[in-house]
Amino acid sequence: MSTAKKQYKRITTNSVVEMKQNGEKIAMLTAYDYSMAKIVDHAGIDVILVGDSASNVMAGHETTLPITLDQMIYHATSVVRAIERCLVVVDIPFGSYQSDPKEALRSAIRIMKESGAHAVKLEGGKEVKESIKRILNAGIPVMGHLGLTPQSIYKFGTYTVRAKEEEEAEKLKEDALLLEKLGCFAIVIEKVPAKLAEEIAKSVSIPIIGIGAGGGVDGQVLVIHDMLGMTHEFNPRFLRRYLDLYKEMNGAFKKYISDVKSQDFPNEKEQY
């Protein structure tokens, strides 16, 4: 059952800000390819994030660090070709914006120009302020990403909950206010205490989209392979699995193998 408060023919960055104003929660999922994006868009998702989690779930890397700008553009282009309604946001990958604002702008421009996506996302607060400013000045909408920022995993050391201590919580609040002031249209907040995330969502006028950040924020995002139950080894508390696709697909593949071996497939009707 949908609880949309307003029907949108196309979702823009303004639409998601309006959803927050209207008290409508924003539904965001990742997608990385044409076929999946088409199904997700037809289901009525508000935002598709072409996340650098593609590095994990599509390419099999342990972290998000190895994925390149060219690879992100390839995924984003496939997604954009599929969609009719939702907003498409693309992660700027590690190493394509941290060194200087000009490089950040060049990367954002390549994503927008070559893929046709609608906005970019990058990780960090104060540290990447100049890069965010430059990208926004070029007319490219930016979504921020605070809390657990997987591109900094080697600094954090673990994927555990962030901002449990006062000092980090204070920095998170300041960074959220800064991103709003700079002109970001939304912020992803990942894996922080629900109370803190709710407080931040109340303190800013732009939407806070949470992953592992509780229900007091303005929207939710999940990695599509996780919510479909394709990734069995990943079991964080915040994850709700809507299907056990690993089991379903495994069963289908086993049946196919057995049908081929036993010569049950193809049958008379399945040939010319």
Binders in 91-110 for ligand KIV, by CB under 6 A: 91
Indicate whether 151 belongs to the interface with ligand KIV (CB under 6 A): no
Binders in 182-221 for ligand KIV, by CB under 6 A: 188, 190, 211, 221
Indicate whether 223 belongs to the interface with ligand KIV (CB under 6 A): yes
Indicate whether 112 belongs to the interface with ligand KIV (CB under 6 A): no
Residue with tokens 């990734």: 231
Indicate whether 52 belongs to the interface with ligand KIV (CB under 6 A): yes
Six-digit token pair at 37? 């994006």
* Options 34-42, 48-56, 104-112, 193-201: segment touching ligand KIV (CB under 6 A): 48-56
In terms of CB distance, is 83 or 146 closer to ligand KIV? 146
With contact defined as beta carbons under 8 Å apart, do 85 and 10 qualify?
yes
Query: SS3 string of 55-67?
Result: HHHCCCCCCCCCC
Catalytic residue among 24, 123, 180, 190: 190
Largest Cα–Cα separation, the chain: 70
CB under 8 Å, gap of 24 or more: what pairs does 197-206 form?
A: 197/147, 199/173, 200/172, 200/173, 200/176, 203/173, 203/176, 203/177, 204/176, 204/177, 204/180, 205/17, 205/20, 205/21, 205/180, 206/17, 206/20, 206/179, 206/180
Q: Which residue is nearest to ligand KIV (CB)?
A: 51
Indicate whether 46 belongs to the interface with ligand KIV (CB under 6 A): no
SS3 assignment, position 158 = coil
Does the annotation mark 190 as catalytic?
Answer: yes
Helix count and strand count (H, E) for the chain: 11, 8
Binders in 54-93 for ligand KIV, by CB under 6 A: 91
In terms of CB distance, is 26 or 223 closer to ligand KIV? 223
Residues that bind ligand KIV in the complex, under the rule CB under 6 A: 30, 49, 51-53, 91, 145, 188, 190, 211, 221, 223
Catalytic positions, written as ranges: 190
